[in-house]
Each structure stands twice: as structure tokens, then as C-alpha cells.
A and B are shown apart, each in its own frame.
Chain A
């Protein structure tokens, strides 16, 4: 390591760009959030509103419901993907699995498909009257599956779509993490007579912690902000059953041009995201000392 400010020269270009497209917008909504500003209103100028936008936000049940819905969605998605991804990672790593490379490639496929195309595809699968999913569910199980009228069906389809799209990412990173684990502690634990569960919990999990943390982190961020797929699948419906927070901001702010309120909404969403990630970070790193 060289003690020198030359390092800053290398960082400068990236920092500058992210300052302009990342930090300036942040400061800007912070500012706009304190104003009453609607370009299509009688008075299209900025008028000081103090904390009024935030005060209204606290009583805005549509916003709060959509936020809560997003958290539920993210929780289900991240937990199931982690469990599923771990099982699949272990299965894929089984020795002497015929066609391993082929399976891996196929499994990587959903990651690279554009979310908007994922939404379009699942719409083709699930849309009532056309898709094969409602048709065969009715034919084989007698279930009336309809994502455009049944809120529960729409919500669970959104979750399953996300599982299809992102479990492979979890599988691949866990697989990478598992492959890189040193063999000695595992063998030592086996010699010491640890059972599978003990080895998993006391040896594998602590060693895998950095990988787990990163994976959950990335997945949580993405789950909290998923918009494209849902937009294509259900347009946030039926009613507001799948209107997650990003979608809510997007379809509310721009047609209404209510910028001050939109800014407050955006900022609060950002705040929740940051707090959640921070809690996750503390929870996962804090437990590290106890397990070892």
C-alpha cells in the first residue's frame, strides 16, 4: 500500500460521474421534498411547504400499503431463494453428475433475460384465457387461477416469477462460495464426529458468511426495487395487489406531476431501503462472533 493522494486521481473520474448521476439527484429530491411543486397546477412554481409532504405521507395508506407489500414480497423472495439456492447449489455440486456443465448453463439462463422480457413471457404463460398455466390448472386440478381478478394469485405469481428469475443467481454465488471453502475444517469436523446439521451450522455457515451476506444483500436490494417484471405481468393489479413501491412511485408521480410529494415519497423509500440493508448487515456480521 502506498500512502499517497495519487490514489485519488484514479478514483476521481468514477467518483465524479457517480456524484453527478447519483449524489446530485439525491440532494435534489431532498430539496424538492420540502416544496409544494406541481407543474400542471394553477401555480406551477415551487412553494415552500416545510414538512407538509412528509406529514401527508404518514397518512397516505396507499403508499404505506404498497411499502408493506414490498417488504412482504422481498422477505418471501429472499428467504425462499436462499433456501432453494443452497439446496440446488449442493445438488449441482454432487460428484460425478452427468452433464453438469449443461445444467449449469441452462440454470444461468434466467439471470441474463431482461426483466421486461421475463414479465412479458410470464404474461404469456399466465394471462387468463390465453396462457397455459390457467388452462392446465383448470384442466388437471380444477383450480380457477386468474391473475387479473384474484389478488392472491397475482401476488404469488409475482413471487414465483421472481424465484424463476433470481434463484439461479443465488445458486451460482453459493456454489462459488462452497467451492472456495477450505477442505480441512470440514474433514476435521467429520473426524470429531459432528453430524450433518452441526457441520452445516457451525462450520459451513460461518465460513460461508461473507458470501451469504453479499448474496442476501444483493437480492434484497433487487427485490425491494423490482418494477419491470410486475409492470409487464399485472400492471400492479388487480386493484393494487401487486403494486410494489417502485411501481407506485412510477405510476403516481409522473402522470400527476406532483413533484414535491413524489420527492418525499422517493426519499422515504430510499430511507427504508438503507435502514433495512444496514439492519441486515449488523445482524449478519454481529452473529459471527457467537458462532465461532
Chain B
């Protein structure tokens, strides 16, 4: 028992190093001046911030960062609200064809984004046009679009959680004269709050991390997101590795911060997703 404990400890130390290495290297490179870039040492020699300052002084990058923040937050909020309603409907009512609807909802997440790029591009530029307004190259377009992968995920997670809330609680509330709205707001919502928080955070991260849709369906600084900034930067500048690493780190940072706070809940979230599959 003791020996196996040591083995697994050693295994985990090795694994941790492997996991951290790429992220650490990104940080090391981001703190190197141009003259030292080709050094192969694994250590941060001195705290050199110019790469970060250069990235953060670019107004385009800040604009992209802001866009990402708005898109990810609005999308996560929208998805949580609609996901909770849908999960409530699916979990608490016997809907004719409900299973089929659930299956169809979930299959949307399975859809390869590359498959949907073309039709969405065409629809956004040619069909979803209202007067001067078209969905192409807008934050609203992205917010709606990210529902394709986030909404099924939210419904899936939340349905699992609502199924775990005993039906007797609903019934008891109804016997006491609660309306459906009150059941939802006074029974389900408080109990589902941890689940909602997990759903919000995970969908927020998925939206923040998305690249392909953002790259194809936006074209101006008004809507492009931080992931497209990183990709554009790489193709434009080629070998300015220091600034590229700094930008990659800044792109990753919010997700890392979130991870620190909610790591336990991410596990819980994935538990629900897995067990209620």
C-alpha cells in the first residue's frame, strides 16, 4: 500500500511536469528580449515585460479582448437561462417526442464547426440581413452562433442536475399551492444554483476559446475576438516569438484564473455530464 502510494506520487510529479512544460515554456519565451530568444534554457533569466507591454499597448488587441469578454459573457448568460428552461421542460414534463427532441438538441453539439461554416457564412451575409443590419461581423451574431455548441452542452448538464432533484420537492410545493413559475424560481433555482454556476463557467470558457466561427464570420475590429487576434498575429509577424508567447499567455490567462477558483466545480460539472449521459 505504502509503496504503491509512492509510485503514484512519483508518477504524478512526472505528469505534472509534462503538463506544465508547454505552459511554462510559453511564459519563459514571453519574458525574453529579442536578443535572448534563441537561448535554450528553461529558466526565466530576468523579468522582462516589454513583450506584454507591446501587446497590451496595441489598441486593436484591447478591442479584441473586450469583444471576447462581451461575447463570452453574454453567450454564457443566454445559454444558462435557456438551458435551464429547456432542462426543466425535459426533466419535469412528459413531452410527446421529448426524447427525440432531446437527442436532436444534443446532436447540435456534435456538429463539426467546419461543416457549418459555409452555410452560416452564406446565411449571415445574404439571408439574415435586416435593412442595413446583417449578422455577419457583429458580436450579436457570435453570441447567437455560440449557442450551437454551448446550448446543447448546457441542456445536457442541467437536465442531469434537474433529474437529480427529487420530484417530491416539486410535488410538495405544488400541494402548497405554488405555480409552475414559483416551483422553478423557489424550488429548482436554489437547488440548481451550483450546477448553473458550473454551466456558466464552462460555457463561458468554451465561448472565450472558440476560434473557427469567429475567424470566418467576423472581419472588423468591432467583432473579432482574442483568439483571432492570436492567429492573425502569428500569420502576420512570423517569428516575433516573444510577443506571440505573451499574446498566447494573455489569451489563456482568464481561463487559468477561472480554473483556480472553480476547479472542484469543473470536476463536479463533468461528473454530471458523464454520469447522466
With known contacts A110-B19, A267-B115, A21–B5 Cβ distance under 8 A:
no
The 5 A-B residue pairs whose C-beta atoms are closest, nearest first, are A7-B93, A10-B89, A214-B277, A246-B114, A176-B271
Q: Could you give 6 example pairs across A and B, Cβ below 8 Å?
A: A10-B93, A11-B85, A104-B267, A108-B267, A121-B26, A245-B112
The CA-CA distance from A5 to B5 in the complex, in Å, is 56
Chain B residues contacting A185 (CB-CB under 8 Å) are none
Chain A residues contacting B208 (CB-CB under 8 Å) are 114
Smallest CB–CB gap between A89 and chain B, Å? 11
Contacting A at CB under 8 A, from B2-27, are 4-5, 8-9, 11-12, 15-16, 18-23, 25-26
Look across to chain A and name the residue whose beta carbon is closest to the beta carbon of B84: A10
With known contacts A17-B147, A270-B111, A263–B12 Cβ distance under 8 A:
no
Chain B residues contacting A121 (CB-CB under 8 Å) are 22-23, 25-26, 245, 248
Question: Cβ of A22 and Cβ of B255 under 8 Å apart?
Answer: no
**Of the candidates B113, B155, B209, which one forms a contact with A227 in the assembled complex, judged by CB atoms under 8 Å apart?**
B113
Smallest CB–CB gap between A95 and chain B, Å? 7
* Stretch from B37-45, B49-57, B58-66, B190-198 forming part of the interface with A: B37-45
Chain A residues contacting B110 (CB-CB under 8 Å) are 221, 273-274, 277
Interface residue A240 (Cβ < 8 Å from any Cβ of B): no
List 14 additional contacts besides A14-B85, A32-B122; criterion CB under 8 Å.
A11-B101, A18-B152, A29-B118, A97-B12, A98-B9, A106-B19, A108-B259, A124-B25, A172-B266, A172-B267, A177-B271, A263-B118, A270-B115, A273-B112
**Of the candidates B90, B234, B255, B267, which one forms a contact with A232 in the assembled complex, judged by CB atoms under 8 Å apart?**
B234
Chain B residues contacting A111 (CB-CB under 8 Å) are 266
Interface residue A201 (Cβ < 8 Å from any Cβ of B): no
With known contacts A3-B94, A4-B93, A28–B122 Cβ distance under 8 A:
yes
The CA-CA distance from A245 to B251 in the complex, in Å, is 26
The CA-CA distance from A99 to B15 in the complex, in Å, is 14
Question: Cβ of A7 and Cβ of B108 under 8 Å apart?
Answer: no
Question: Cβ of A7 and Cβ of B90 under 8 Å apart?
Answer: yes
Interface residue A136 (Cβ < 8 Å from any Cβ of B): yes
Interface residue A186 (Cβ < 8 Å from any Cβ of B): no
Interface residue B270 (Cβ < 8 Å from any Cβ of A): yes
Question: Cβ of A225 and Cβ of B113 under 8 Å apart?
Answer: yes
Question: Cβ of A262 and Cβ of B118 under 8 Å apart?
Answer: yes
The CA-CA distance from A214 to B96 in the complex, in Å, is 25
Chain A residues contacting B98 (CB-CB under 8 Å) are 7
Interface residue A107 (Cβ < 8 Å from any Cβ of B): yes
The CA-CA distance from A215 to B95 in the complex, in Å, is 28
- Tally of B interface residues using CB under 8 Å: 96
* Stretch from A55-63, A75-83, A144-152, A249-257 forming part of the interface with B: A249-257
Q: Is the interface of A mostly helix, strand, loop or mixed?
A: helix
Look across to chain A and name the residue whose beta carbon is closest to the beta carbon of B113: A225
The CA-CA distance from A94 to B255 in the complex, in Å, is 28
Interface residue B136 (Cβ < 8 Å from any Cβ of A): no
Interface residue B169 (Cβ < 8 Å from any Cβ of A): no
**Of the candidates B92, B252, B273, which one forms a contact with A114 in the assembled complex, judged by CB atoms under 8 Å apart?**
B252
Question: Cβ of B255 and Cβ of A113 under 8 Å apart?
Answer: yes
Interface code A78-93, partner B: CB below 8 Å = 1, 0 otherwise?
0000000000100110
Chain A residues contacting B129 (CB-CB under 8 Å) are none
Contacting A at CB under 8 A, from B135-150, are 144-145, 147-148
Smallest CB–CB gap between B110 and chain A, Å? 5
Question: Cβ of A112 and Cβ of B258 under 8 Å apart?
Answer: yes
**Of the candidates B12, B20, B108, B147, which one forms a contact with A91 in the assembled complex, judged by CB atoms under 8 Å apart?**
B12
Chain B residues contacting A273 (CB-CB under 8 Å) are 110-112, 115
Chain A residues contacting B180 (CB-CB under 8 Å) are 6
Contacting B at CB under 8 A, from A95-135, are 95-99, 103-118, 120-125, 130, 132, 135
Chain B residues contacting A177 (CB-CB under 8 Å) are 271, 274-275
Interface code B77-109, partner A: CB below 8 Å = 1, 0 otherwise?
000001101101110111110100100010111
Contacting B at CB under 8 A, from A24-60, are 24-26, 28-29, 32
Interface residue B200 (Cβ < 8 Å from any Cβ of A): no
Interface residue B172 (Cβ < 8 Å from any Cβ of A): no
**Of the candidates A104, A122, A225, A259, which one forms a contact with B263 in the assembled complex, judged by CB atoms under 8 Å apart?**
A104
Look across to chain A and name the residue whose beta carbon is closest to the beta carbon of B115: A266
Question: Cβ of B90 and Cβ of A11 under 8 Å apart?
Answer: yes
Question: Cβ of A180 and Cβ of B40 under 8 Å apart?
Answer: no
**Of the candidates A97, A116, A118, A266, which one forms a contact with B118 in the assembled complex, judged by CB atoms under 8 Å apart?**
A266
Question: Cβ of A125 and Cβ of B25 under 8 Å apart?
Answer: yes
Chain A residues contacting B116 (CB-CB under 8 Å) are 22, 25-26, 266
Look across to chain A and name the residue whose beta carbon is closest to the beta carbon of B114: A246
The CA-CA distance from A135 to B209 in the complex, in Å, is 30
The CA-CA distance from A20 to B147 in the complex, in Å, is 10
Chain A residues contacting B105 (CB-CB under 8 Å) are 14-15, 18
Look across to chain A and name the residue whose beta carbon is closest to the beta carbon of B26: A121
The CA-CA distance from A259 to B126 in the complex, in Å, is 13
Question: Cβ of B94 and Cβ of A1 under 8 Å apart?
Answer: yes
**Of the candidates B4, B9, B123, B247, which one forms a contact with A25 in the assembled complex, judged by CB atoms under 8 Å apart?**
B123
The CA-CA distance from A25 to B118 in the complex, in Å, is 9
Interface residue A166 (Cβ < 8 Å from any Cβ of B): no
With known contacts A21-B145, A225-B113, A130–B209 Cβ distance under 8 A:
no
With known contacts A124-B241, A176-B271, A273-B110, A113–B119 Cβ distance under 8 A:
no
